[in-house]
Structure 1
Amino acid sequence: MERTVGIVVVSGTGTEIGKTVVTAAVAAVATAAGRSVAVLKPAQTGVGPDERGDADEVVRLSGAAASAELGRFPEPLAPGTAARRAGLAPVGPREVAEAARKLAAAHDLVLVEGAGGLLVRFDGEGGTLADAAALLGAPVLVVAPAGLGTLNSTALTAEALRARGIGQLGVVVGSWPAAPDLAARCNLADLPEAAGAPLLGAVPEGSGALSPAEFRAAAGGWLAPPLGGTWDAQSFARTHAEPYGG
């Protein structure tokens, strides 16, 4: 990743699709390259007070220098809803932007990991991760699932980014299956078109269960050169893609 990129926002096209593992992979590659990396989780939902959150998991897997969490809400719901139901103050986009800038002053790279998709509400005013990215002027790395349905959600996310003038780094498949079906194989060719941005990696399913040492050793092979890795989209497609009409 270019050293001029100090803050990157990581958003999924939905929930439970591998955002945390992709964030950890990006952090691991940057850390191995000698960069100081911090991860910011604006709103952690569905996790108890004594449980490890997503930001903590990124640090554990990647060896990133620091993590920060702005709000934690016990129910596995959209952040705004979870905060309201818990009777706690929500986390707004301006708070996210302020925290990210503070971390960027002390670290080479700050990864801001969203909750769910790009337009999930953070607060009662309708603030979203997209609003935080716009305030920061930061590019967004989109994490998408491999299989059927991903083209529509990826295209919608890309359209929302373009409408707000927010740059998109590209797309990473958050959990590439060990036995990809026809849809997943075809999507290797179709995802960049749907996103209007390059495919920048594919993280194998189950990677989050690796030991930290195994994870860090493998992460560079899952990500393309713009993210600091060695993964090659064309080579991966030749190995896995299903030819049209085949």
Structure 2
Amino acid sequence: MSVIVVSGTGTEIGKTVTTAAVAALALAAGRSVAVLKPAQTGVGPEEPGDVDEVQRLAGARVTGAELARFPEPLAPATAARRAGLAPVTPGDVVEAARKLAASHDLVLVEGAGGLLVHLDGTGACLADAARELAAPVLVVTAPGLGTLNVTQLTGEALRARGIESLGLVIGSWPAAPDLAARCNVEELARVAGAPLLGAVPEGAGRLSGQEFQEAAPGWLGPELGGVWDGVSLP
């Protein structure tokens, strides 16, 4: 597959760090990688955004692209409207992803928030872009209490739109998981209707680039280029 859409079950879920881990493994396998952020919100003009963080963690060889930046930390459609700026549309995302795919082995499209967060005033969302691209969606989810409901809803939304779910990655696995997190590991794949492909440890984003790249294979399963066996969790 040349394009993968990375979406979360919510915000601050670990999408950027997961995107960086997938990118790092693809680079280590000799593939050229681009990361596309359709709408960056809550970041000023000169501040580093999610694409910069992926490049810091996965390596400078990642090609970064950002279609729009809005200053307030809101859903893209709302942030664009309040800033008086043109929103990003699914068509913009599709066009940019296809251009990058023409010159890269892998394009990772990292969404903002969850799958159905509005990009523009029509209610269009990342799922619309994924469907037009015929790209699978990698769902990043949380491990704790409440995750089963939003994970199942995301899986149902994908199936209702005829979009392939590549699988799930736990975006921030705690160093000391509680009972809910341990039980949820056994339930997530079932409720999502998609395999669990990895678990990124909390704090991974604080590692140096070299440390991150060396550790990433142990966080993701073979489907994503890693060696995680599906059971090795603290």
Report deviation, 1:65.
2.4
1:219 matched to 2:216:
yes
**Is the partner of 2:129 in helix, strand or coil?**
helix
CA distances 1:176-225 after superposition (whole Å, capped 9, x unpaired): 00000000000110000011010000000000000000000000110000
1:73 matched to 2:70:
yes
Report deviation, 1:104.
0.2
Q: Aligned partners of 2:218 and 2:62: how far apart in 1?
A: 22
- The equivalent position to 2:49 in structure 1, one of 49, 53, 57, is 53
**Is the partner of 1:102 in helix, strand or coil?**
helix
Q: Counterpart of 2:101?
A: 104
Give the CA RMSD over aligned residues: 0.7
- The equivalent position to 2:131 in structure 1, one of 117, 134, 149, is 134
Q: Aligned partners of 2:104 and 2:30: how far apart in 1?
A: 11
Contact 2:23–2:62 under 8 Å retained in 1: no
CA distances 1:113-168 after superposition (whole Å, capped 9, x unpaired): 00000000000111100000001000000000010000000000000000000000
Q: Aligned partners of 2:132 and 2:103: how far apart in 1?
A: 19
- Write the letter of the residue equivalent to 1:18: G
- The equivalent position to 1:121 in structure 2, one of 118, 123, 137, is 118
- Write the letter of the residue equivalent to 1:30: A
Mapping of 1:184-195 within 5 angstroms? 184-195=181-192
Q: Aligned partners of 1:158 and 1:197: how far apart in 2?
A: 8
1:231 matched to 2:215:
no
Q: Counterpart of 2:82?
A: 85
- Write the letter of the residue equivalent to 2:209: P
- Write the letter of the residue equivalent to 2:127: A
- Write the letter of the residue equivalent to 2:172: S
- The equivalent position to 2:3 in structure 1, one of 7, 11, 26, is 7
Aligned pair count reads 233
- Write the letter of the residue equivalent to 2:106: L
**Is the partner of 1:180 in helix, strand or coil?**
coil
Q: Aligned partners of 1:34 and 1:48: how far apart in 2?
A: 34
Unpaired stretches in structure 1, ≥5 consecutive residues: 241-246
- The equivalent position to 1:179 in structure 2, one of 176, 182, 190, is 176
**Is the partner of 1:146 in helix, strand or coil?**
coil
Unpaired stretches in structure 2, ≥5 consecutive residues: none
Q: Aligned partners of 1:147 and 1:16: how far apart in 2?
A: 13
Q: Aligned partners of 1:118 and 1:110: how far apart in 2?
A: 18
Q: Counterpart of 2:22?
A: 26
Report deviation, 1:44.
0.1
Following TM superposition, the consecutive aligned residue runs of length 4 or more in structure 1 with deviations greater than 4 angstroms are: none
TM-score for both structures, normalised by structure 1: 0.94
1:158 matched to 2:155:
yes
Report deviation, 1:60.
1.3
Q: Counterpart of 1:201?
A: 198
Indicate the percent of aligned positions where both proteins have the same amino acid: 73
